[in-house]
Amino acid sequence: MATAKAHTNIALVKYWGKRDNQLILPWTDSLSLTLNEFYTTTTVKFDSELSQDEFTIDQMPVDEKNFMKLTHFMDIAREKIELTQFAHVDSINHVPISAGLASSSSAFAALAGAIYEASGKPYTMTDVSRLARRGSGSATRSVFGGLAQWHKGTDDNDSFASPIQEKLDFGLEMIAILLDTKKKKISSRSGMQNTVTTSPFYHEWLSVVENDMRAMKQAIADKDVHLIGKIAESNAMRMHSLTLSADPHFTYFNADSLLAMQEVEKLRENGVECFYTMDAGPNVKVIYDCQDRDVILASLAKVFGRNQLVVSQPGPGITFMK
Ligand code: PMV
């Protein structure tokens, strides 16, 4: 039996589109910051008495759809690790589920970590990252703390994440503006596949990411938080332009998302350098240098409730609890 804790990550250069749906192989590399605020803890216990896996999420048994998804993931793990037993899996999310706060990233990273640890077999964190990817692409990066890069790779073996800097020695920080924590209408999975096949701009996205990855890694090496934010914001908007140009077109923005983005732009006009990013949901995350935290918080708190604003520092990679 083992318990693993993994934190969510927010991509600064986004992953949007798979070239292999089965293996979850992405079209591009991506790069993210793991956060310390939002996490999942998952306990896995292999049990020779069981005739099928058993899952609870937040102490509730899962529905049929989640059961099928999770037991399929367990089958992939069993095949990789050469195990035959079914398992009890209990997962607690400290993240609003499916609201673009990347709960699936922490969930599948924690599950993959707990499976390997409970298996009693030798493994590396690269093995964990590779397995986590099969549950949810972004989970491959949550295995590591701080800044991590997912290498798109060519097959199941070489598509995994590696750390760029696990412990940051500069002031990169984020505020998540919680605008709507209900389940999102269009999952990232169906949203991204729709844009890959129908957006006339998808091909351009591949070179956008290539350029942004290069520029982002240089900005990180230079510890240039403002440039990191600037590249992340432009990368996010270009990702969202794929949804607007898809057929049928759609958007993850709501009216409050636009309001939040405008507030960040106003702060910038007033000389406070801060930037935004968004994922497959309406919540906006603000990227800034920690020395500007108070002024940004004070300004956002005039528009949003203080309880909607969650400050998050860079977080750690997977940890195991006895
Ligand atoms: O791994 P998924 O299916 O949760 O997709 C993640 C998609 C984004 O969050 C929008 C981008 C990313 O790289 O995390």
CB-ligand 1 contact for 280 (6 Å cutoff) = yes
**Secondary structure class of 38 (helix, strand, coil):** strand
Does some domain include residue 318? no
Interface ipTM above 0.90: yes
Rg (alpha carbons) of the chain, rounded to whole number: 19
Q: 195: domain CATH number?
A: 3.30.70.890
The domain boundary, picked from 168, 194, 224, lies at: 168
The pTM (predicted TM-score) of the whole model is: 0.96
Residue in 38, 105, 188 to alter for ligand 1 test, most ligand atoms within 8 A of Cβ: 188
Q: Verify that 160 and 11 share a domain, yes or no.
A: yes
Q: Is residue 320 part of a domain?
A: no
What residues contact residue 152 under an 8 Å CB cut-off, 6+ apart? 25, 26, 27, 28, 29, 159
Query: Does the C-beta of 194 come closer than 6 Å to ligand 1?
Result: no
In this structure, are 21 and 137 located in the same domain?
yes
Instruction: Give residue 14 CA to ligand 1 midpoint distance, Å.
Output: 7
CA of 30 to the centre of ligand 1 (A): 10
pLDDT tens, residue by residue, 37-61: 999 999 999 999 999 999 999 999 9
Ligand 1 atom with the shortest distance to the CA of 279: 10
Residue 104 CA: which ligand 1 atom is closest? Answer: 4
pLDDT in tens, 114-147: 999 999 999 999 999 999 999 999 999 999 999 9
For residue 59, CA distances in Å to 56, 78, 249 come to 5, 24, 37
Q: Is residue 322 part of a domain?
A: no
Residue 138 CA, closest ligand 1 atom number: 1
Among protein residues, the one with the nearest Cα to ligand 1's atom 8 is 279
What is the C-alpha to C-alpha distance for residues 35 and 276, in angstroms, rounded to an integer?
15
User: What is the DSSP code string of 79-136?
Assistant: HHHT---EEEEEEEEES-TTSSS-HHHHHHHHHHHHHHHHHTS---HHHHHHHHHHH-
Q: How far apart are CA 33 and CA 39, in angstroms?
A: 13
Distance 21 CA to ligand 1 centre (A): 14
pLDDT for res 100: 56
Domain stop point among 151, 168, 185: 168
Q: Which atom of ligand 1 is nearest to the CA of 137?
A: 1
Q: Which residue has the tokens 């937040």?
A: 58
The residues, any chain, with a CB within 8 Å of residue 97's CB and separated by 6 or more, are: 103, 183
CA distances from 104 to 55, 100, 108, 170 (A): 15, 9, 6, 27
Cβ atoms of 34 and 238 within 8 Å: the answer is no
Split at pLDDT 50, 70, 90, the class of 102 is: low
Query: Which domain range does residue 290 map to?
Result: 172-312
- Picking from 119, 146, 168, the residue at the C-terminal end of a domain is 168
